[in-house]
Chains A and B, each alone.
Chain A
Amino acid sequence: DAGITQSPRHKVTETGTPVTLRCHQTENHRYMYWYRQDPGHGLRLIHYSYGVKDTDKGEVSDGYSVSRSKTEDFLLTLESATSSQTSVYFCAISAGLRNQPQHFGDGTRLSIL
């Protein structure tokens, strides 16, 4: 498996609190992604990064922000968590944007009460 570590693996928090999820890679891949996975929706892209300090929005970016200060780290922040953001969050990496496979981390299960 690709060297991708997500932390934390599980988190329970309350509505209105800030939450930060971390993705760390050891593959030196340029592209990093954050997805959320919900029943009936498959994987939906939240944000992605194409280099240090270079990020762009995905299809479900509202309520989320990201930062990438180093090649190996990509952070996802929920500024004020809502119950609708309860989900499983996956980080992925790839060497290219369109014609390269994506390699996924083990996921973070986030529950917002």
Chain B
Amino acid sequence: GQQVMQIPQYQHVQEGEDFTTYCNSSTTLSNIQWYKQRPGGHPVFLIQLVKSGEVKKQKRLTFQFGEAKKNSSLHITATQTTDVGTYFCAGTYNTDKLIFGTGTRLQVFP
């Protein structure tokens, strides 16, 4: 079946350092969504990317969709303790439902 791979599984950073998580698919995605889940909470939608090569920014967060629509990344500049949580990508193929990646758990040390 179709899979969306996400790396790294865990990332520990010092507050103020940058962070990036990557999402990869073996086949072309129709679109990709990103979610954040705080410890003990539920996933919360962050953004959706649809177009090839698309880049979107939300304050310190930058989201990219690859030219071939097979990969995506989320980059956080100058992490803060409020960024702690697990970040999930979720991709859609042409005729199917969202498939979630396994997530990247971010820990930020003050």
Contacts and interface: CB of A to CB of B under 8 A. Distances in A.
Given A41-B102, A42-B100, A99 B50 contact: yes
Contact of A101 (B33, B50, B88, B103): B33
A36 B100 CA distance: 11
A33 B99 CA distance: 12
Interface residues of B, number: 24
Contact of A90 (B43, B92, B97): B43
Contacts of B90: 43, 102
Given A33-B97, A99-B30, 14 more contacts: A35-B100, A41-B102, A44-B100, A45-B98, A45-B99, A48-B97, A98-B96, A98-B97, A101-B45, A102-B90, A104-B43, A104-B44, A105-B42, A106-B41
